[in-house]
Amino acid sequence: MKKFLLKVSVGIIFSTIIIFCNPLNANAAVYTKTLTENTRITPPGVIVTWWDSIPKFKKGSVVILNQSGEVLEGVLAENASLPYETGKTQSSFNKISNPPPPLPIFINTTTEAKPLYRVLTFKGGTKVTFNERGEVIRGTLAAGDSISLNTSNHIFVSEGEISFHPNGMPATFCLSQNTYMRPVGWQQILIENYTKNYNSPGFIEFKEKKNIELNDRGEVIKGTLNKESKLLSDDGLLSEGVLKTYEAGTTVEFNKNGFVVKAEKEQTK
C-alpha cells in the first residue's frame, strides 16, 4: 500500500512539473502563421475600424498571433498609419517610488481627460511589434514626424527604427533636427555649459540625423553631441566624476550616475 501511495504521489508531482514548468505552456496562446497572401489582420484592442485602417501584412512572411487571432508581430505589406505606445496615463509618470528631481521633459503633469489618439506611419516591408493594447512598441518609421510627449512638449523624429518604453516615452529613435535635451545626471551639470547668451540648466544639444537613446523619464542615455560640451566622465577613481570637454560630433554614452562611460568621435569623410 505504501509503495502504491508513493507511486501515486510521484506521478502527481511529475505531472504538475510537466504542466506548470513546461516553457512552452506559458506561450501556448501565442502561435505563428505563414501568410499565403497579403493579408489584413487587426491587432489587439481594436473595437472599431475601417478596411483601409486594417494593417496589411506581407505575403510569405510569418506573423505572430494571440489566441484570438489578433496580430502581435508581423511584416507590413505597405506603409500603415498605426497607433503607438501611449502608456497607461499621463499621471503614471509621477507614480514612482523615491521620485527623481523635476522631470526633464514632462513639465505639465495634467492627466488627459480623454484617450490620446497617437498615430505614426510605419514603413512597408518592415516588422512591427504590438503590445496587448494594439499599440506599436517597435517598428520602422516611413517618414519623419512629431511625437507629442504631453500638452507642452513634443519631439521631432526622423524616418528609421523606433521603440517605446511601456510608459509611452520614446526609447530609441533618430532625431530629425538638432535638439536640446537633458542627459542622465543633468542635475550635476546645471551651469557647466552656460554661455553669455545661453542659460538653460542641464540641457545639451544633440545632433540631427543621429540615433538617440532615452530612459523612461526622457533623459538621454546615448546620443551624438552637436556642440562642444562639458560632461562628467567616469575615470574609475573619483566617485563624483571628472568634468571633461567633449568635441562636437562625439557619440557619448552615460551610466546611471550620469557619467560618460564611452565616447566615440565620428569619422569625417
pLDDT of residue 3: 57
Which position has the higher pLDDT, 228 or 91? Answer: 228
* Residue 198 phi, psi dihedral angles, 5° rounding: -140, 115
- The three cell numbers locating residue 72: 502581435
Task: Tell me the per-residue pLDDT of 118-165, one tens digit each, with 9 for 90 and over.
Answer: 899 999 999 999 999 999 999 999 999 999 888 899 999 999 999 999
Q: Is the pLDDT of residue 105 over 90?
A: no
Q: Whole-angstrom Cα distance, residue 241 to residue 31? A: 49
pLDDT of residue 45: 95
For the segment 92-107, the average pLDDT, to the nearest whole number, is 43
Task: Tell me the per-residue pLDDT of 176-229, one tens digit each, with 9 for 90 and over.
Answer: 999 999 999 999 999 999 999 999 999 999 999 999 999 999 999 999 999 999
Q: Whole-angstrom Cα distance, residue 20 to residue 209? A: 48
Residue 23 pLDDT grade (very low, low, confident, very high; cuts 50, 70, 90): very low
Element spanning 75, H or E: strand 71-75
Check: pTM over 0.85? Answer yes or no.
Answer: no
Q: Whole-angstrom Cα distance, residue 181 to residue 179? A: 6
User: Which amino acid appears at position 104 of this protein?
Assistant: P
Element spanning 161, H or E: strand 160-164
Q: Whole-angstrom Cα distance, residue 16 to residue 10? A: 10
Q: Whole-angstrom Cα distance, residue 164 to residue 219? A: 13
The chain-wide mean pLDDT, for the chain, equals 85
What is the distance of C-alpha 264 from the center of its chain? 23
Residue 61 pLDDT grade (very low, low, confident, very high; cuts 50, 70, 90): very high
Q: Whole-angstrom Cα distance, residue 212 to residue 170? A: 10
223 contacts: CB under 8 Å, gap ≥ 6: 175, 181, 183, 206, 207, 210, 211, 212, 213, 251, 252
Task: Give the range with max mean pLDDT: 1-15, 18-32, 85-99, 184-198.
Answer: 184-198
pLDDT of residue 262: 96
